[in-house]
Chains A and B, each alone.
Chain A
Amino acid sequence: MSTSDVTHHTPGEQHDHHDDHDHHGPAPGLMRWVTTTNHKDIGTLYLWFSLLMFFIGGAMALVIRAELFQPGIQIVDPMFFNSMTTLHAIVMIFGVVMPAFVGLANWMIPMMIGAPDMAMPRLNNWSFWIMPFAFTIMLSTLFMDSGGPAGGWTLYPPLVLQMGDSFAFVIFAIHFLGISSVMGAINIVATIFNMRAPGMTFMKMPMFVWTWLITAYLLIATLPVFAGAVTMLLTDRYFGTSFFSAAGGGDPVMFQHIFWFFGHPEVYILILPAFGIVSSIIPTFARKQLFGYDSMVYATASIAFLSFIVWAHHMFTTGMPLAGELFFMFSTMMISVPTGVKVFNWVATMWRGAMTFETPMLFSIGFVIMFTIGGLSGLMLAITPADIQYHDTYFVVAHFHYVLVPGAIYSLMAATYYWLPKWTGNMYDEKLGKMHFWISTIFVNVLFFPMHFVGLAGMPRRIPDYSLQFADWNMIATIGAFGFGFSQLMFVYIIVKCVKGGEKATDEVWEGARGLEWTVASPAPYHTFETAPVINPDTVTR
């Protein structure tokens, strides 16, 4: 990390230069969005798309919670309930969290490393535009005679092979989503490797760029395995192979191994960029450098490596031998070490900082606290003998929703509030932002915390009905769900209000913000860093 060879220039020089290029504006009309190769346009498309899908997936969650408001079958029939749980998961994972992170990567990575655009802009356009088609295919299954996919997002055979004709549509859509994500990931790797401004060395890159580089590797290494697994399902169903059919010498348990070999790294794909976002925001509002940057990088890489050797902890009840159970138990627990390094580094960054609590910081602190709750329940699930009791109960549901909703989703909200002034040139309504945070945080805990209790008491997941003793907590969780769901309308209102106008944002936006993205004008010009910026040690986030 030698900075001695970097020439010092004033940031103002860069501004003057970029103002010259403002006349290269976007093409007018709607076709701008279809044909765009601009990283900021594509980032915007990804972010709006994931916001739309957030409400579609959220509406499905509300159907689930409405049915679970009381014991018994009241609102939807069980088959539809099952397709709601399945599609809710697929939409939230592949349609909300992943595209939102890719959108942020598109917007921010070129600006953070001083690149004019992504490495392969046309590929970038293609990566995005595949997604709306894939999801149209996926969601159209709900209107087919056979109904939507109802075997759970994990697609376990033999159940999933008994699905109706919508099966082929779902597999096809998953293939396309995989192609989109792999292309996006390849683009991000090429951008980070080849497009960094001179002097932006690997160990000077902002943490968000680092976490995305590692996430991109995870995507490239695991999504093709998933594509292979669903292709095997497809040929088992239609072409007479028997990968997973015992009749032909196959084994359904093998699907679980292949699936979770993808599935576990996938959960880190959903959280590593969140770590990067929080690592950018907390130093800004604590007005200190990120504590332990190097250890953050190594911890991220360790988590990525470990994620490949823990997959069978999803399968403790399939009858693994003792040696396997012990190996996967200990390797899973080992992940808490690098994760702990990260959490303590965030706390150490805040320690004795001159903290202020603007909305992005509130969401980031909420992330650190509630993600840790989800991490600790994950540690409980790692204990094999305990997991045999917890397996497939609401305790698992509580665990992964704590890491995904007040975890990944909160990081996305924090990122939106943090960079929205840079994107739009206007400040968002701080008062409404804070209200949004507090209302969301209260309801998200009302929603998910009781699930720990019913889960430990034995309530199974993925079933539309339940025993009477679980009634009270389920009613409370449903109230939380509707509160949380409707409070997200505030989020949309705040974004739209900010896009339309508001107090003008300065270039730096936040007093303690460091990093190249804050050296360009607000809103960020259509083209930035057409000439590579000079890396000034003061502007690098670190």
Chain B
Amino acid sequence: MSEASDNNPSAEEARPRSHGLVAGKMLLLACAMFGFGYLMVPLYDIICDITGLNGKTGRVSVSEVAEASAVAEDREIIVEFTASINQSGSWIFQPDVKTMTVKPGTLYHASYYAENLSNSAVVAQATPSVTPFAAAKYFNKTECFCFTRQAFEPRGSMHMPLTFIIDPDIPVNIDRVTLSYTFFRSPEQS
């Protein structure tokens, strides 16, 4: 809006006025904002990953775990495992162990059991969520069946592994963490 400062009428008259130029700039803005709508999708994931919002848990490599060797011996946190099934898929989906008492800074193994009750091969995806949300960014997994899609034979079943470590920096007021998985039939199958 550079014209805002232009108070001289004769100069305004002399200026060539291209409607196409203004319209083109505005159209460009409109297209950019359409793109921005799509840009919000990766931005949303990045922000959720950084802040742990939405209960999105972190993923760390085994070497990173080795570096963070400090174990908070004096603290005990109860980890609860829950499972739920989305839609009307015919599944059995449950944690093998319902609760564990863990020390932050130590690597633990857990597993979930899933069974395909249908007579066709299906691919499934599990999505995790941690509550309270404040705990999410301290709850790190080195290995999880939720990282990839799981393929099931007709009537097939499997125990799916999960390896996690809780960051010792987890706030002291948190003594109980719930890890919840929802099991979905993968969209390609439906």
A interface residues, Cβ below 8 angstroms from B: 1-2, 5-6, 119-120, 123, 182, 185-187, 189-190, 193-196, 198-199, 201-203, 220-229, 232, 240, 242-243, 245-249, 251, 253-254, 257-258, 261, 319-321, 324, 535
Contacts and interface: CB of A to CB of B under 8 A. Distances in A.
Interface of B: 1, 3-4, 6-10, 12-13, 17-19, 22-23, 26-27, 29-38, 40-41, 44, 48, 51, 53-54, 86-87, 125, 127, 133-134, 182, 184-188
A249 B44 CA distance: 12
B187 A245 contact: yes
Contacts of A202: 1, 3-4
A194 B19 contact: yes
Contacts of A324: 53
Given A2-B7, A228-B36, 8 more contacts: A120-B23, A186-B27, A189-B23, A194-B22, A223-B30, A245-B187, A246-B184, A319-B54
Contact of A321 (B22, B31, B133): B133
B127 A249 contact: yes
B9 A186 contact: no
24 contacts: A2-B7, A5-B8, A120-B23, A186-B26, A189-B26, A190-B22, A194-B19, A199-B12, A201-B7, A220-B26, A220-B33, A221-B29, A228-B34, A228-B35, A232-B37, A240-B187, A242-B187, A246-B182, A247-B125, A248-B186, A251-B44, A321-B51, A321-B134, A535-B9
B4 to A, nearest CB: 5
B86 A227 contact: no
B10 A198 contact: yes
A25 B116 CA distance: 76
Given A5-B9, A225-B33, A248 B187 contact: yes
Contact of B40 (A120, A182, A220, A257): A257
A249 B125 contact: yes
B3 A254 contact: no
Contact of B13 (A198, A201, A228, A247): A198
B47 to A, nearest CB: 10
A186 B37 contact: no
Given A186-B26, A190-B19, A251-B54, A225 B37 contact: yes
Contacts of A120: 19, 23
Contacts of A319: 54, 133
A118 to B, nearest CB: 10
Contact of A6 (B9, B38, B184): B9
Contact of A247 (B6, B31, B186): B186
A123 B20 CA distance: 12
Contact of B36 (A1, A225, A254): A225
Q: Is the interface of A mostly helix, strand, loop or mixed?
A: helix
B27 A224 contact: no
- Of the listed residues B10, B41, B133, B186, the one surrounded by the most CB atoms of chain A closer than 10 A to its CB is B41
A258 B40 contact: yes
B44 A257 contact: yes
A179 to B, nearest CB: 10
A228 B22 contact: no
Contacts of A232: 37-38, 41
B66 to A, nearest CB: 29
Contacts of B8: 5
Q: Which 9 A-B pairs have the closest CB atoms?
A: A228-B37, A247-B184, A198-B9, A224-B34, A194-B17, A224-B33, A225-B37, A199-B9, A190-B22
Nearest to B7: A201
A322 B133 CA distance: 11
A5 B87 CA distance: 73
Nearest to A225: B37
Contacts of A242: 187
Nearest to A247: B184
B53 to A, nearest CB: 6
B30 A224 contact: yes
Contacts of B51: 321
Contacts of B10: 198
Nearest to A222: B33
A193 B24 CA distance: 13
A463 to B, nearest CB: 25
Given A120-B19, A257-B40, A261-B40, A246 B9 contact: no
